[in-house]
Structure 1
Amino acid sequence: MPPIRDPLVLSLLILAPAIGVVAQEPGPTLHIVRTSRPPELQDFVSGAASPDRTDNSGAVAVNDFRQRDPGDGNPASAPTTAYVTYDDANLYVVFVCKDAPTLVRAALAKREETTADDAVAVYLDTFRDRKHAYLFLSNPLGVQADALVTEGQDDDYSFDGVWQADGRLTPDGYVVRFAIPFRNLRFPRAPAQTWGIALVRYIRRNNEESYWPYLTKRIAGLVPQFATLEGLRDISPGRNPQAIPYGAFTGARFLDMETPAFRTASDRRVGLDFKGVIRDALTLDATVNPDFSQVESDEPQVTINERFEVFFPEKRPFFIENAGYFQTPVNLFFSRRIADPGAGLRLTGKAGPWAVGAIGIDDRAPGQAVASEQARIGAVRLEREVGHESTVGMLASDRTLAGGANHVVSADTRLTLTKTWIFTGQAMATHTRDTSGAGSSGSGWYANLLHDGRNLDYSGTYLDLSPSFETQLGYVKRVGIREFEQVLELVRRPKGPVVKVGPTFTTLFDWDRDGRLLDRSLEASFEVKLRGETKLVLGREQAFELFADHPFDTYLTKLTLESEWLKWLAGTAKLRLGTAVNHKPPKGTAPYLGDAAKGELGLTFRPAPRLRLDHTFLYERLTTRPDASPPGAPLSPTRVFTDRILREKLNYQFTRALSLRAIVDYAMVNRDSTLSRVDRQHRWGVDLLLTYLVNPGTALYVGYRDGYENLAILPGSPPALYRTDDPTTSVGRQVFLKFSYLLQF
């Protein structure tokens, strides 16, 4: 298959706006009235509220919940009623959910750890733009989760709002009460509001999502199908000034790998984050000496034989809020590139049909290597609604350091062509100048055609990045390529315990700029999904890879099993068997093909509502093949390397605010030095964290970390590091204390 050339993609980007854009039919309208008596949880627990149109606070009731999954359009499997009203300060939603008490899944857990529980949720499209929405979710015990929803992007659960959720189990199910302050929402400045709204109930044992209004998978997108919420009058978030001062102390003893020597260090840091609202819809954030500490550790990943950079998600507080405002189809702003900022300013929100995101910040980390210079960083993102449910946007970013600079500009569009077809396109240009003044320019194109339906999903994606394309603030694995990927999924949804069955076909081709094939992947898989969030997937991949000018044909047979059938136990098992390329052979040895085995096992135990135990084991092995061994290798199969990673994690929730987390990590990499140059590592560590989280702005963290590795210092002038057999040397020990407090004026 020949590579796709630039004019085709350019034509798609130019002609796509001319294609007819289809609007969704309007959904039902919910008209609510202001209450003088906010609904209380006890009123519904005691049965004082009636399941008809209103309760005794004047809240309007809705009860026609219908499934989106697994039975599209079927009534919810358990009776559900929601009551909606508001006063000057809050929007109130109370869910009354009927069910057998022994079947309800609910645990007292940390904020946002609700994925295994039954839950109810409220979606609010406060600008009625049919693209953006707030999501507020609670499990039956009032454990919260919230997110920003943007059509065409993954839900952004890094958003943390300050709101109330109270839940209680009852003899015939459970009741949850939401109180969502208007001061934490952004919406148009108008005397009467028209919003979009959707209410949802999740019943995990049935794989069930039931919505009011009825949201079908026969139409692409979720937010465009929301009901219209009317009756909200004379409300405002106000200026809502907020300040979050924080203090942090860290004491550490660590092994300096360069000297090498053991050193001690301490860091005392105080800072302030400030937030204000401009004209009800825009949020201005300012920060001085911001809190960029990362409390939660990254999940383990196998990285020793990877060709390209592995993605680790952002977890630092300042960057994660409203991160979706800076997202583009190709990730051109990846905040983990900013390591140690000193001060920053950010503006995000909506202004009429425009969505706005702007950030200016510095980064002190490069100064450790470049004459104490600080990197200056800025990014602006604008997006405008076009017609119904379509957008056009642009992004510009700039990073300067010690006379060098990296400039990036991008234009993109997302067009709803029909009820099930969506087109996304992006054009990019970069210019980089190094410290000597030499410069280079690059360009990139992206196009995606998506069909999102109930029984057929299709995605076709084309990506073209020139060799000199460079985005120092983005996450782009590879440049100098033309890539074309297609995914086709056919789904049948039978009734009974099997809720989904069908095949998925995936093709991927990469070419260089001269049309030479670099990678090819052809994969077919078959999935059977049952109730209880249980699924079995069997797949086969045939691939081609050109690495270091050596061609390789590889294959993998894949098996995945996942289940949450039991309330107290969830498990995941993955197995990959086939062949793989040794990307890190010894110096002077060409890469070669080996037999590969990869495995992953994850188990989650919930022996009590407050206790959660997570076990994760990752395994990867590469052995030589008799027909492809490097020169001098034994003819019989020989281990090239073996990588094992084990993580044991315990969470205990004393109250909704107070929790203890303990992690023990163990990792070991063994290799044959005549066959691989990966580093022989043997390490383990412990990570303890005590958290008192009142709300996302008010929290106390006390933590301890200690890591051991198979390293020792060889005395001499200068001293040197060498590998030992056992991980007995502490290479990093740290104690930290962090406190923040939310001040609302």
Structure 2
Amino acid sequence: MTQFRQRQPGDGEPISHRTAAYLSYDDSNLYVVFVCDDLPGSVRAHMAKREQTGDDDVVAVYLDTFHDRRHAYVFQSNPLGLQRDGLLNAGQKSDYTFDTVWSTEGRLTESGYVVWMAIPFKSLRFPNGDPQTWGIAVQRKILRTNEDAFWPYITDRVAGFVNQLGTLEPMTDVSPGRNVWLGPYGTFTGSQFLDGHAAAFRSETENRGGIDSKFVIKDALTLDLTANPDFSQVESDEPQVTVNQRYEVKFAEKRPFFMDNAGYFQTPVNLVYSRRIVDPQLGARLTGKINGWAVGALLMNDRAEGEQLKQSDPLFGGRAGIGLLRVQRDFGSQSNVGLLVTSRDFGPSSNRVVAFDTRLKLSPNWYFTGQVMGSGTEKLNGKQASGAGFVSELEYNGRNFSHSTSYKDFSPGFRTDLGYVKRVDLRAVSESAGYLWYRKGGLIQSYGPSLAVSADWDHQGRLQDWYTYPMFAVNLARQSSIQVARSDAYELYLGSGFRESLNYFSFSTSFTKGFAVYASYSRGTGLNYAPASGLSPFLGQSTNASLGMTWRPAQRIRLDNSYIYTALSTRADDHPQGVSPSANIFFNHIARSKVNYQFTRALSLRTIFDYYALRPNESLIDYTLSKSLTADVLMTYLIHPGIAFYIGYTNRMENVAIDPAVPGGLLTASPGTTTGRQFFAKFSYLFGL
């Protein structure tokens, strides 16, 4: 295959450098070889951890193994053979948390680079039959020119991606064969932490082991059984602002068990937020696709809630029972209908949610998405509640123009203990539209405006919020972009209405192989959601800024630095009585410096230094002075996602001083006291039977 054509920045134009992909197969593997020409010294390729291909040129193969034009695997490699894999599902975001076992080799050459892939049929799910007819596409991305090119021709003029894949010639005598995988693991943790109430340090050690098993049924379904599953999180969460937030901050899932096949449980409303399950003991999961039906089921318990209770509580040591069932049926052209049931029980309390959803293709560019759901809840005190929800969206996606109209309705009694729904008792309408003009050649490649507007009311008809958000974006060569925007909003909070506004600017670029930077700045008005005792919520002057930099001084070294600044101060024209204008309410600094050295594709050493500082005016906001400095060192030996060895150490210092007479310690001006240390080692091994 040599006729690669661009999707971006040109539409259908030939790729700028010759690219060829060769395919073959045997009884065990599908083989793909890419031969890519390029200018000497221009290829972007770095040795890094698995999955970290974002700063490099890449090649990829997409496989629609059920040939349903809705679901596909993606296997991606940089020019040195660094792997990234994922799943694509129509109507969902690409899921790159998926990991499986496959092989790659990559080499730079005088005229470009060559990549070899071997994808075992054991690592794929496909119908049981002969011959096999699959959908396929191959891709090459050239970062310095922003080129994203495919065979066959794939265009943004048509909504969807998997529906545009080509057809692979039928393969015969293909089967994953016997497909049973066992994955035992073991962890050791030794920690020392400050017990503020006892004004002394405590030490704890924990040894933990378990096993995950995977059974493939009729080539298409996967049954996962787990005992004392590995739910450890090796990598720390990315820094986020958690101060003065009206709603719960959402963190991404990083635990391997839940990242695997997570897409089977996704619906338009996030009714399965896996971080709600904290410490399970036993679990079983079934996922796959058979005869046009996609199915997902999960049974699991959770020890966390029972362990957090006092020993005198009758429910101490109890376990929550958790169940999920997801069924989805494809029909027509790119349309589907689905059912999701979630259940959580702890002692006499329970929560049940039943939801129906659909995605309908109305034309090559128009889609309708809808979901209706109901919940029933009984709390520990015996109180019961029930509620319903409904969401719908009509969207148009094209190369130049995009548009979306949506409606949400959640009754006051709706609740999902396993999901993530920020707010209930509202009816919300939102509208967004954008247009891009494209230019051939030159620094500017595309530019255009967009506008988003929204308003919502409670079920008594009272206006709660509205906002408008016009933006103008310019996309430049070498992975660069500029955005300017302004938001105007109204917010009803604790019975009072507030008018807010914000001006925003951002810039990002990767103009060289070894350096990338992004920056953003916004200033306007913002609400103090946590006023000090005796004060009501009030508007302040809000300032937000972020700066990030990635530098690769050598092929094996990567340095990432980020800084987030958030501040709120009183306004000269409107401030609480008795408070001086322009007085500080709070400012928050979050800084991270991360260094990674990649000895080989498998062996790496990573260090992270995190600094956090919150300096509030305690007479204006209900926070206390908080500063911390954390050092985190991790050595990783990762052969593939199932075979890995980790050794890590963390040291955390905070602004407290030990004083037996003061529970919790005394606050100090700087983070000078070590409040926690932890050493851990983890080993996992995956083998097939």
Q: Which residue of 2 aligns with 1:454?
A: 399
Cα gap change, 1:697 to 1:720, in 2 (>3 Å):
closer
In structure 2, C-alpha distance between the alignment counterparts of 1:71 and 1:711, rounded to whole Å: 58
Correspondence for 1:422 among 367, 391, 394? 367
In structure 2, C-alpha distance between the alignment counterparts of 1:652 and 1:175, rounded to whole Å: 24
Q: Which residue of 1 aligns with 2:541?
A: 595
In structure 2, C-alpha distance between the alignment counterparts of 1:740 and 1:372, rounded to whole Å: 28
Q: How many residues align?
A: 682
> Does 1:688 pair with 2:633?
yes
Q: CA RMSD in A?
A: 1.0
Correspondence for 1:145 among 81, 84, 91? 84
| Residues 184 and 685 in structure 2, CA contact (< 8 A), matched pair in contact too | yes
> Does 1:552 pair with 2:498?
yes
Q: Which residue of 2 aligns with 1:218?
A: 157
Shift of 1:256: 3.3
Q: Which residue of 2 aligns with 1:529?
A: 475
Deviations 1:456-478 (A, max 9, x none): 01111211111111100001111
Three-state SS of the structure 1 residue aligned to 2:595 is strand
Which residues of 2 match residues 582-661 of structure 1 at below 5 A?
582-634=528-580, 636-661=581-606
| Residues 196 and 664 in structure 2, CA contact (< 8 A), matched pair in contact too | no
Q: Which residue of 2 aligns with 1:36?
A: none
Three-state SS of the structure 2 residue aligned to 1:95 is strand
Q: Given residue 450 of structure 1, which amino acid in structure 2 is its aligned partner? A: E
Correspondence for 1:242 among 174, 181, 193? 181
Q: Which residue of 1 aligns with 2:354?
A: 409
In structure 1, C-alpha distance between the alignment counterparts of 2:294 and 2:431, rounded to whole Å: 30
Three-state SS of the structure 2 residue aligned to 1:217 is coil
Deviations 1:33-84 (A, max 9, x none): xxxxxxxxxxxxxxxxxxxxxxxxxxxxx10000000101100111100001
Q: Which residue of 2 aligns with 1:252?
A: 191
Q: Which residue of 2 aligns with 1:733?
A: 677
Shift of 1:486: 1.4
| Residues 125 and 132 in structure 1, CA contact (< 8 A), matched pair in contact too | yes
Cα gap change, 1:107 to 1:404, in 2 (>3 Å):
same
Shift of 1:262: 2.5
Q: Given residue 486 of structure 1, which amino acid in structure 2 is its aligned partner? A: E
In structure 1, C-alpha distance between the alignment counterparts of 2:582 and 2:257, rounded to whole Å: 51
Q: Given residue 127 of structure 1, which amino acid in structure 2 is its aligned partner? A: F
Q: Which residue of 2 aligns with 1:480?
A: 425
Shift of 1:260: 5.7
> Does 1:495 pair with 2:440?
yes
| Residues 239 and 280 in structure 1, CA contact (< 8 A), matched pair in contact too | no
Shift of 1:679: 2.5
| Residues 108 and 653 in structure 1, CA contact (< 8 A), matched pair in contact too | yes
Q: Which residue of 1 aligns with 2:343?
A: 398
In structure 2, C-alpha distance between the alignment counterparts of 1:282 and 1:597, rounded to whole Å: 51
Q: Which residue of 1 aligns with 2:524?
A: 578
Q: Where do 5+ consecutive residues of structure 1 fail to align?
A: 1-61
Which residues of 2 match residues 169-248 of structure 1 at below 5 A?
169-248=108-187
In structure 2, C-alpha distance between the alignment counterparts of 1:204 and 1:704, rounded to whole Å: 36
Correspondence for 2:668 among 709, 712, 724? 724
Shift of 1:118: 0.2
In structure 2, C-alpha distance between the alignment counterparts of 1:223 and 1:671, rounded to whole Å: 50
Moved more, 476-485 or 112-121: 476-485
Three-state SS of the structure 2 residue aligned to 1:230 is coil
Q: Given residue 469 of structure 1, which amino acid in structure 2 is its aligned partner? A: F
In structure 2, C-alpha distance between the alignment counterparts of 1:177 and 1:258, rounded to whole Å: 59
> Does 1:744 pair with 2:683?
no
| Residues 278 and 284 in structure 1, CA contact (< 8 A), matched pair in contact too | yes
| Residues 339 and 365 in structure 1, CA contact (< 8 A), matched pair in contact too | yes
Q: TM-score of the superposition, structure 2-length normalised?
A: 0.98
Correspondence for 2:377 among 418, 432, 435? 432
> Does 1:509 pair with 2:451?
no
| Residues 406 and 471 in structure 1, CA contact (< 8 A), matched pair in contact too | yes
| Residues 462 and 483 in structure 1, CA contact (< 8 A), matched pair in contact too | yes
Identity percentage of aligned residues: 50
> Does 1:320 pair with 2:259?
yes
Moved more, 718-727 or 152-161: 718-727
Correspondence for 1:668 among 613, 628, 645? 613
Q: Given residue 213 of structure 2, which amino acid in structure 1 is its aligned partner? A: F
| Residues 239 and 276 in structure 1, CA contact (< 8 A), matched pair in contact too | no
Q: Given residue 596 of structure 1, which amino acid in structure 2 is its aligned partner? A: S
Q: Given residue 728 of structure 1, which amino acid in structure 2 is its aligned partner? A: G
| Residues 97 and 174 in structure 1, CA contact (< 8 A), matched pair in contact too | yes
In structure 2, C-alpha distance between the alignment counterparts of 1:268 and 1:592, rounded to whole Å: 50
Q: Given residue 738 of structure 1, which amino acid in structure 2 is its aligned partner? A: K
Q: Given residue 214 of structure 2, which amino acid in structure 1 is its aligned partner? A: K
Cα gap change, 1:510 to 1:567, in 2 (>3 Å):
same
Q: Which residue of 2 aligns with 1:155?
A: 94
Three-state SS of the structure 1 residue aligned to 2:300 is strand
Cα gap change, 1:477 to 1:394, in 2 (>3 Å):
same
Cα gap change, 1:289 to 1:64, in 2 (>3 Å):
same
In structure 2, C-alpha distance between the alignment counterparts of 1:311 and 1:434, rounded to whole Å: 24
Shift of 1:742: 1.0
Q: Given residue 468 of structure 1, which amino acid in structure 2 is its aligned partner? A: G
| Residues 67 and 134 in structure 2, CA contact (< 8 A), matched pair in contact too | yes
Q: Which residue of 2 aligns with 1:90?
A: 29
Correspondence for 1:108 among 47, 72, 85? 47
Q: Where do 5+ consecutive residues of structure 2 fail to align?
A: 310-314
Q: Given residue 180 of structure 1, which amino acid in structure 2 is its aligned partner? A: I
Q: Given residue 619 of structure 2, which amino acid in structure 1 is its aligned partner? A: T
Q: Which residue of 1 aligns with 2:67?
A: 128
Q: Which residue of 2 aligns with 1:14?
A: none
> Does 1:280 pair with 2:226?
no
Q: Which residue of 2 aligns with 1:56?
A: none
Deviations 1:605-639 (A, max 9, x none): 011010000000000111101222112101x3111
Shift of 1:697: 0.3
In structure 1, C-alpha distance between the alignment counterparts of 2:142 and 2:198, rounded to whole Å: 57
Cα gap change, 1:558 to 1:691, in 2 (>3 Å):
same
In structure 1, C-alpha distance between the alignment counterparts of 2:181 and 2:482, rounded to whole Å: 48
Q: Given residue 722 of structure 1, which amino acid in structure 2 is its aligned partner? A: L
Three-state SS of the structure 2 residue aligned to 1:224 is helix
| Residues 543 and 554 in structure 1, CA contact (< 8 A), matched pair in contact too | yes
Q: Which residue of 1 aligns with 2:14?
A: 75
| Residues 239 and 278 in structure 1, CA contact (< 8 A), matched pair in contact too | no
Q: TM-score of the superposition, structure 1-length normalised?
A: 0.91
Shift of 1:417: 0.7
In structure 2, C-alpha distance between the alignment counterparts of 1:519 and 1:559, rounded to whole Å: 24
Deviations 1:666-717 (A, max 9, x none): 011111111111221111100000000011100000000111111233323x
In structure 2, C-alpha distance between the alignment counterparts of 1:282 and 1:185, rounded to whole Å: 10
Cα gap change, 1:355 to 1:257, in 2 (>3 Å):
farther
| Residues 616 and 646 in structure 1, CA contact (< 8 A), matched pair in contact too | yes
